[in-house]
A and B are shown apart, each in its own frame.
Chain A
Amino acid sequence: MDDKIVDFTALLRANGLRVSMAEHLDAFRAVAELGVGDRESFKDALRAAMVKRAVDGPVYDELFDLYFSGLGAAIQQGANALMEAMQISEAEFQSLMDRLAEILQQLDVDLSELAQALLQNDSGRLEQLLREAAEQAGVQGIERSYQEGRYSHSTAQSLGLGGLSEELERLKEQLGRADLPPELAQRLADFIDQRLRDLREMIRRTVRIELEKRDQTQRERNRLSSLAEKSFYYLSEDELRRMREAVTKLAQRLKNVVSIRRRRAKRGKFDVSDTLRKNLQYGGVPFRIQFDRRIRDKPQVLVLCDVSDSVRNVSRFMLQFVYSLQDLYARVRSFIFVSEIGETTQLFEEHDTQQAIELALTGTVINVFAHSDFGRAFRTFHRDYLGAVNNRTTVIILGDARNNYNLPHEWVLRDVQARAKQVIWLNPESRLTWGFGDSEMDRYLPFCDLVEECRNLNQLYRVIDRLVR
């Protein structure tokens, strides 16, 4: 059993669970305490000792079942297949096997271990033989599904399938010569043939299980990281869904970073003069220690998000991010614009993410089917909301600056920059295309403190990281 636990731990590690040496030893202690008699408590014990992240739970469940009952299930399936093919019930199956054993004893036939295990459906023995054969054939090295055939073949070889089928042929002959009712003889022959087919299937399954064990999560993770580099413009429906999850996770990670950074800054330095002053009442004995209170920097964020048709796909994520930001900081005001501008702060507070984004993108706040006019939107912002910008505000503008040859009104941005702590522009277009055609990026650029291309998740993450620093 110890070997199995070691092996299983290695399997967990290969699938991205972090299991330390200490946890591994805990698992042994836990199993020693509980024994291996009860499958469920065995599973729970290993889980308590080695699985520490809730996200790893499902992976653990899957691997546990695969590892500790995968082969058993395969063997059971073999027996089921036989019962189905011969159309007999479990009791008949059992009696047929008993009958065969009886006859074999009468005929005084000596069978190999494998043949015996197979014909008596001894699952424990079969499992062990299959495992050993798979090990000899080096099935652990399997990596791709096209290798399945090859490994099945070599497993069959090390199991001695060739010898077995000869042995069973001989057995059938012997049975045929023996003095049996013809009907029974036929049945037994069928049974033996079927069992041989079952075994082939079992071997294939053994190899398949080994293949499935090889990192399921690894593949998953690879897909996610490649997703992070993919441009927002070219996402499929499924990727959109996965991207949403990724953005939410990103926001969560950010939340942790922010709270840690904020806490670190909480306590100020030892304040000598204030301490002396406060302690005059105690005769100058430093009784109450004073620290200077650092003023907490409460970041105020103001987001302007372009939701015109040209950036529709991107703005979905941007809005999702804005939504997460709003959860994160106490003071976030969000606006969306095409040629009109409208505030969405309230909307995001009252509805859940997807609903809020849907509402924002379908024209409840502003007309989203107009042609982009950054200049007009900015002018309206200047008129109505400039008061919201003060020296602690970070203004983030998300948009491609494609202005349909309208007046850009870049002076608004100049005014905003003069008042704000910083102005950040995130552009979902590639840097190379800025300033070409109707892109007014070059005109807006001088009035921004930071301009970033933001075409995929990784870039977004970098920007956000800079934002909270």
Chain B
Amino acid sequence: MFASIEDVIHRFAEQRYICNRRIATVVYLATHLEKPILIEGPAGVGKTELAKVVAAALDLKLIRLQCYEGLDEAKALYEWEYAKQLLYTQILKDKISEVLGGATSLHEAVDRIAKQDDVFFSDRFIVPRPLLRSITSAQRTVLLIDEIDKSDSEFEAFLLEVLSDFTVSVPELGTMRANQIPVVVLTSNNAREMSDALKRRCLHLYIDFPGSEQELEIVRLKVPGITDTLAAQVVEAVQRVRKLDLKKSPSISETLDWARTLTLLNAERLDEQLVNDTLSAVLKYEGDIRKAQDELKAYLQTQRARGTAEQGDDKDLLH
């Protein structure tokens, strides 16, 4: 459990995840109020990562449920193992005839079988899926429901029971209650608007692209070999590119990819040639790349102008 908001920031930093105060506040509240967090924001800002970091920081097991179109209860909650049940009935044929032996009428036989049917609908034949696993787990878990916006709205409605009461109803077995209320993190890319009912049950967190200072910090942390000049230039360039009207804005992970690429190439500062060669690490559409090239060219020129001015000063000092 986190002791305070500062504790959240501190422990996240230990896990090499840099977060602002708003994120930390919401995480702190969610763990204390035992409410799910619904995280929205553009792709690649570290929504999924946040859940992993919460798990690591609290030293809990992470259970992940990846949502997709057509995901249903059987995949998310539990499923009966029909094959196993069938196999058992075959193997136990003799035993069953024994049970049925001596029954004088069909009616009686059915009654006898009915007495035994809870054998076949017991824990033994149930395959727990992520939701059930997280709820029945003896230890507290972090349940990550990833990309909830990709699932159907029926599934979303079904989630409501789990999220508000942390119970799961299996008709044959009854209602199962969570021993330990899991920390639930839902992420959404906003492919569709989530229902109000779901939002009502969650604390809401919107993660946007970080500001330059924070992004610089992230780059320095995640790309160890990078020079200070290059890191600053990369971040500044990406921040500029994000302001353009692009099909897909570069995310943090793409900034990191770019920074890593450049360090691999032993670059110490950006120049036009380098940008043109490596820009495909940041941008994924031809049109976007063209636009960004123009923007970055202008940026590098101003940089160079400033650079030569500084050099000029240096010379003066040498005299």
Chain A residues packing against B (C-beta within 8 Å): 18, 20, 22-23, 26, 29-30, 33-34, 40-41, 44-45, 47-49, 51-54, 57, 255-256, 259-260, 263, 266, 285, 287, 350-352, 354
Contact = CB atoms under 8 A, between A and B. Distances in A.
Interface stretch (B28-36, B116-124, B165-173): B28-36
A352 B247 contact: yes
Interface string B21-48: 1100110110011010010100000000
Q: Is the interface of A mostly helix, strand, loop or mixed?
A: helix
Contacts of A33: 28-29, 32-33
B152 interface: yes
A126 to B, nearest CB: 30
Nearest to B70: A266
For A18, A30, A256, A259, which residue has the most chain B Cβ atoms within 10 angstroms? A30
Given A23-B200, A41-B5, A51-B204, A259 B192 contact: yes
A41 B203 contact: no
23 contacts: A20-B196, A22-B200, A33-B28, A34-B5, A34-B29, A40-B21, A41-B21, A44-B22, A48-B26, A52-B196, A52-B200, A52-B204, A53-B199, A54-B40, A54-B190, A57-B206, A255-B192, A259-B191, A259-B192, A263-B152, A266-B70, A285-B86, A287-B86
A29 to B, nearest CB: 6
A259 to B, nearest CB: 7
B287 A48 contact: no
Contacts of A256: 192-193
A51 B69 CA distance: 27
Contacts of A48: 25-26, 29, 203-205
For A34, A45, A48, A52, which residue has the most chain B Cβ atoms within 10 angstroms? A48
Given A40-B21, A259-B192, A49 B5 contact: no
Contact of B25 (A23, A45, A255): A45
Contacts of B203: 26, 30, 48-49
Interface string B182-200: 0000000011110010011
B153 interface: yes
Contacts of B25: 34, 40-41, 44-45, 48
B82 A29 contact: no
Interface in B37-92: 38, 40, 69-70, 82-83, 86
Nearest to A262: B69
Contacts of B294: none
Nearest to B32: A33
B245 interface: yes
A261 B54 CA distance: 36
B206 A30 contact: no
Interface of B: 5, 21-22, 25-26, 28-29, 32-33, 35, 38, 40, 69-70, 82-83, 86, 152-153, 190-193, 196, 199-206, 245-247, 286-287
Nearest to B30: A48
Contact of B245 (A51, A53, A352): A352
B26 A351 contact: no
Contacts of A44: 21-22, 25-26
B200 A351 contact: no
A54 B149 CA distance: 15
B33 A352 contact: no
B248 to A, nearest CB: 11
B21 A287 contact: no
A417 B153 CA distance: 37
Nearest to A282: B86
B55 to A, nearest CB: 20
B33 A29 contact: yes
Contacts of A49: 29, 203-204
A285 B32 CA distance: 51
Given A20-B196, A41-B5, A285-B86, A260 B33 contact: no
Nearest to B197: A20
For B25, B152, B196, which residue has the most chain A Cβ atoms within 10 angstroms? B25
- Top 4 A-B pairs, shortest CB-CB distance: A52-B199, A44-B25, A48-B203, A52-B204
Contacts of B86: 285, 287
B80 to A, nearest CB: 13
For A34, A44, A45, A352, which residue has the most chain B Cβ atoms within 10 angstroms? A44
Contacts of B191: 259
A458 B287 CA distance: 33
A350 B287 contact: yes
Given A34-B29, A41-B25, 9 more contacts: A23-B200, A33-B33, A34-B5, A34-B25, A49-B29, A49-B203, A52-B196, A53-B199, A350-B286
A54 B82 CA distance: 44
Nearest to B72: A267
Nearest to A288: B82
